[in-house]
Structure 1
Amino acid sequence: MAVALIVNFVLSLASFGAAQYTNTSDYTQYVDLFLGTENGGNMFPGVVPAPFSMVKLGPDVEDGTTDAYSGYLPSGQIWGFSMMHESGTGGAPKYGVVSQMPVAGTVDNPLKDLGQNRSVNDTAMVGYYKSSLANGVDVELAATEHAGLYQYSFPAGNTSSVVIDVSHVLPSYRGLGWGQGYAGGHFNVSGNSYTGYGIYNNGWNLAPNWTVYFCGSFDQYAASVKTFTGNDTTLYSYDNTAVTNGTYRQGGVFTFDGANVTSRVGISFISCAQACDNVESEIPEGSTLNSIVSKAQDCWNDQVFSRVTTTETNTTVLTQLYSYMYGMMLIPSNRSDENPLWTSSEPYYDDIFTFWDLFRCGTALMQVLQPSAYEEQIRSIIDIWRHEGWLPDARSSDYTGRTQGGSNADNVLADAYVKGVRGQVNWQDGYSAMKTDAEVVPPNNHDPSANDSSTKEGRGALPDWKEYGYITPKFSRAVSRAVEYSANDFGLYQVASGLNMTDDASKYLNRSRNWRNHWNPEQTSLNSSGFVVPRYANGSFEYPYDPMQCGGCYWPDPYYEDTPWSYSFNGHHDIYHLISLSGDSDGFVQRLETFFEPGLYSSNSAYGSTLFNPGNEPAFTTPYLFNFVGRQDLSAKYSRHAAKSYYNAGSSGIPGNSDAGAMQTWILWNMIGLYPMTGQNFFLIGSPWFEHLNIMLGTNTSLTITSTGGNADTAYYVQSLKVNGQPWDRAWVTWEEVFASGGRMDFVLGTEPVRWANGTLPPSPASV
Structure 2
Amino acid sequence: MRVFAAALGFAAALTFAAVPAAAAPSRLAVNDPAQYVNPFVGTKPGGPDFGHGGGAGNTFPGADAPFGMMQWSPDTVLHQHGGYHYDDNRIKGFSLTHISGPGCSDFGNIPFMPALGTSPVGNYTFSHANESASPGYYSVKFDNGLRTELTTTTRTGMARFTYPAGQRASLSVDAGKAFNSASGSITIGANTLSGYTDGGGFCGAGNRYRIHFHAVFDTPFATSGVAGADGKVDESRKTIEGRGTGSVPSQPKGVETRKGPAATSDVTPLAASAFVSFNATTVTARVGISFVSLDGAKANLSAEQGTRSFDEIKTGTRDAWNGLLGRINVTGGTDAQLRTFYTALYHSLLHPNVFSDVDGRFAGFDKQVHTVANGRAQYANFSGWDVYRSQVALIALIAPAEAADIAQSAVDQGKYGGYFDRWTVANGGTGVMNGDPVSAIIATMHAFGATNFDAVDGLRRIVAGVNDVRQRPGWLQYNQYGYVPTGLGDVWGSASTTLEYTSADFAISQFAARLGDQATAENFLRRAQNWRNLFESGNKYLQPRNTDTTFPGFSPTQQNEFVEGNGGQYAWMVPYNHRGLFDAMGGNAPVVSRLDSFFTELNAGPNKNMAYLGNEPTLNTPWAYAYAGVPYKTQDVVRRALTTLFKPAPEGIVGNDDLGQMSSWAVWAALGMYPQAPGRSELVLASPQFASVTISRGNGKTISVNAPGASDTNKYVQSLRVNGQASNRAWLPESIVANGGTLDFTLGAGPNTSWGSAPADAPPSFDVGPATPRTGLISGLASKCVDANPPQSSGSVVRLWECNSSVAQQWTLKSDGTVRAAGRCLDVSGSKRDNGTKVQLWDCNGTGAQQWWPKVNGALVNSPSGRCLDVPNSNSANGTQLQIYDCNNSGAQIWRLP
For the aligned pair, the TM-score class normalised by the smaller chain equals 0.7 to 0.9
Work out whether 1:392 is the aligned partner of 2:421: yes
Return structure 1 stretches of 4+ with deviation > 6 angstroms. Answer: none
Work out whether 1:36 is the aligned partner of 2:42: yes
Q: Given the alignment, which residue of 737, 740, 747 partners 2:738?
A: 740
The corresponding residue for 1:340 is 363
Q: Deviations over 1:474-499 (max 9, x none)?
A: 23310000011111111222223333
Alignment of 1:485-564 (within 5 A): 485-522=501-538, 529-543=539-553, 545-550=554-559, 557-564=560-567
Question: Which AA in structure 2 matches 1:296?
Answer: T
Please give the alpha-carbon distance, in whole angstroms, between the structure 2 residues aligned to 1:238 and 1:433.
53
Query: What secondary structure, in the 3-state scheme, does the structure 1 residue paired with 2:272 have?
Result: strand
Query: What secondary structure, in the 3-state scheme, does the structure 1 residue paired with 2:336 have?
Result: helix
The corresponding residue for 2:855 is none
Work out whether 1:473 is the aligned partner of 2:486: yes
The corresponding residue for 2:170 is 161
Question: Which AA in structure 1 matches 2:743?
Answer: M
> Does the Cα contact within 8 Å between 1:685 and 1:731 map onto a contact in 2?
yes
Please give the alpha-carbon distance, in whole angstroms, between the structure 2 residues aligned to 1:70 and 1:725.
49
Query: What secondary structure, in the 3-state scheme, does the structure 2 residue paired with 1:650 have?
Result: coil
Work out whether 1:97 is the aligned partner of 2:97: no
Please give the alpha-carbon distance, in whole angstroms, between the structure 1 residues aligned to 2:117 and 2:62.
26
Work out whether 1:639 is the aligned partner of 2:635: no
Following superposition, the deviation at residue 516 of structure 1 comes to: 1.3
Question: Which AA in structure 1 matches 2:310?
Answer: L
Work out whether 1:434 is the aligned partner of 2:462: yes
Query: What secondary structure, in the 3-state scheme, does the structure 2 residue paired with 1:586 have?
Result: helix
Change (3 A) 1:602 1:275: closer
Query: What secondary structure, in the 3-state scheme, does the structure 2 residue paired with 1:572 have?
Result: coil
Please give the alpha-carbon distance, in whole angstroms, between the structure 2 residues aligned to 1:335 and 1:210.
12
Please give the alpha-carbon distance, in whole angstroms, between the structure 1 residues aligned to 2:214 and 2:532.
56
> Does the Cα contact within 8 Å between 2:222 and 2:279 map onto a contact in 1?
yes
Please give the alpha-carbon distance, in whole angstroms, between the structure 1 residues aligned to 2:207 and 2:432.
16
Q: Given the alignment, which residue of 318, 321, 338 partners 1:297?
A: 318
Q: Deviations over 1:48-75 (max 9, x none)?
A: 1x21010111111112xx4343445441
TM-score if structure 2 supplies the norm length?
0.74
Query: What secondary structure, in the 3-state scheme, does the structure 2 residue paired with 1:118 have?
Result: strand
- The root-mean-square deviation of aligned C-alpha atoms, in Å, is 2.2
Q: Given the alignment, which residue of 280, 291, 294 partners 1:258?
A: 280
Following superposition, the deviation at residue 134 of structure 1 comes to: 2.8
Query: What secondary structure, in the 3-state scheme, does the structure 1 residue paired with 2:540 have?
Result: strand
Following superposition, the deviation at residue 225 of structure 1 comes to: 0.8
Work out whether 1:322 is the aligned partner of 2:345: no
Change (3 A) 1:541 1:254: same
The corresponding residue for 1:681 is 681
Please give the alpha-carbon distance, in whole angstroms, between the structure 2 residues aligned to 1:24 and 1:164.
40
Please give the alpha-carbon distance, in whole angstroms, between the structure 2 residues aligned to 1:241 and 1:461.
54
Q: Deviations over 1:400-426 (max 9, x none)?
A: 223412111111222233444322x22
Q: Deviations over 1:573-631 (max 9, x none)?
A: 222221122111111111111111249x97569xxx77101111111111111111211
Please give the alpha-carbon distance, in whole angstroms, between the structure 1 residues aligned to 2:623 and 2:203.
32
Question: Which AA in structure 2 matches 1:441?
Answer: V
> In terms of mean alpha carbon deviation, does 413-422 or 161-170 score higher?
413-422
Please give the alpha-carbon distance, in whole angstroms, between the structure 2 residues aligned to 1:418 and 1:163.
48
> Does the Cα contact within 8 Å between 2:29 and 2:331 map onto a contact in 1?
no
The corresponding residue for 1:268 is 290
Please give the alpha-carbon distance, in whole angstroms, between the structure 2 residues aligned to 1:390 and 1:613.
31
Question: Which AA in structure 2 matches 1:504?
Answer: T
The corresponding residue for 1:27 is 33
Please give the alpha-carbon distance, in whole angstroms, between the structure 2 residues aligned to 1:620 and 1:707.
25
The corresponding residue for 1:114 is 122
> Does the Cα contact within 8 Å between 2:74 and 2:83 map onto a contact in 1?
no
Work out whether 1:753 is the aligned partner of 2:751: yes
> Does the Cα contact within 8 Å between 2:181 and 2:243 map onto a contact in 1?
no
Query: What secondary structure, in the 3-state scheme, does the structure 2 residue paired with 1:514 have?
Result: helix
> Does the Cα contact within 8 Å between 1:519 and 1:530 map onto a contact in 2?
yes
Q: Given the alignment, which residue of 107, 130, 135 partners 1:126?
A: 135
Query: What secondary structure, in the 3-state scheme, does the structure 2 residue paired with 1:439 have?
Result: coil
Please give the alpha-carbon distance, in whole angstroms, between the structure 2 residues aligned to 1:408 and 1:621.
15
Query: What secondary structure, in the 3-state scheme, does the structure 1 residue paired with 2:729 have?
Result: coil
> Does the Cα contact within 8 Å between 2:535 and 2:541 map onto a contact in 1?
yes
The corresponding residue for 1:52 is 67
Change (3 A) 1:261 1:699: closer
Q: Deviations over 1:261-286 (max 9, x none)?
A: 2222211112222222222332335x
TM-score if structure 1 supplies the norm length?
0.86
Please give the alpha-carbon distance, in whole angstroms, between the structure 2 residues aligned to 1:208 and 1:68.
17
Q: Deviations over 1:554-581 (max 9, x none)?
A: xxx4100111111110112222221122
Following superposition, the deviation at residue 208 of structure 1 comes to: 3.9
Please give the alpha-carbon distance, in whole angstroms, between the structure 2 residues aligned to 1:208 and 1:484.
24
Work out whether 1:597 is the aligned partner of 2:594: no
Question: 5+ unaligned residues in a row in structure 1: which ranges?
Answer: 1-21, 171-179, 443-457, 523-528, 551-556
Question: Which AA in structure 2 matches 1:259?
Answer: T
Query: What secondary structure, in the 3-state scheme, does the structure 1 residue paired with 2:159 have?
Result: strand
> Does the Cα contact within 8 Å between 1:378 and 1:413 map onto a contact in 2?
yes
The corresponding residue for 2:585 is 582
Please give the alpha-carbon distance, in whole angstroms, between the structure 2 residues aligned to 1:699 and 1:603.
40
> Does the Cα contact within 8 Å between 2:208 and 2:428 map onto a contact in 1?
no
Query: What secondary structure, in the 3-state scheme, does the structure 2 residue paired with 1:204 have?
Result: helix
Following superposition, the deviation at residue 344 of structure 1 comes to: 3.2
Change (3 A) 1:582 1:567: same
Please give the alpha-carbon distance, in whole angstroms, between the structure 1 residues aligned to 2:107 and 2:577.
41
Please give the alpha-carbon distance, in whole angstroms, between the structure 1 residues aligned to 2:397 and 2:72.
28
Q: Deviations over 1:447-472 (max 9, x none)?
A: xxxxxxxxxxx111112101211112
Following superposition, the deviation at residue 152 of structure 1 comes to: 1.3
User: Which of the two has higher C-alpha Rg?
Assistant: 2
Q: Deviations over 1:524-582 (max 9, x none)?
A: xxxxx311222111111112x111221xxxxxx41001111111101122222211221
Please give the alpha-carbon distance, in whole angstroms, between the structure 1 residues aligned to 2:169 and 2:604.
54
Please give the alpha-carbon distance, in whole angstroms, between the structure 2 residues aligned to 1:761 and 1:387.
42
Change (3 A) 1:744 1:558: same
Work out whether 1:483 is the aligned partner of 2:503: no
Please give the alpha-carbon distance, in whole angstroms, between the structure 2 residues aligned to 1:597 and 1:745.
31
Change (3 A) 1:23 1:741: closer
Query: What secondary structure, in the 3-state scheme, does the structure 2 residue paired with 1:57 have?
Result: strand
Query: What secondary structure, in the 3-state scheme, does the structure 2 residue paired with 1:705 have?
Result: strand
Q: Deviations over 1:699-722 (max 9, x none)?
A: 31311101134332x221111100
Change (3 A) 1:416 1:120: closer
Please give the alpha-carbon distance, in whole angstroms, between the structure 1 residues aligned to 2:527 and 2:611.
28
Following superposition, the deviation at residue 762 of structure 1 comes to: 2.1
Question: 5+ unaligned residues in a row in structure 2: which ranges?
Answer: 1-27, 46-55, 245-270, 768-815, 818-898
The corresponding residue for 2:476 is 463
> Does the Cα contact within 8 Å between 1:205 and 1:395 map onto a contact in 2?
no
Following superposition, the deviation at residue 192 of structure 1 comes to: 1.6
Change (3 A) 1:205 1:723: farther
Identical aligned residues as a percent: 27
Query: What secondary structure, in the 3-state scheme, does the structure 2 residue paired with 1:277 have?
Result: helix
Q: Deviations over 1:146-173 (max 9, x none)?
A: 2221211212112111111111212xxx
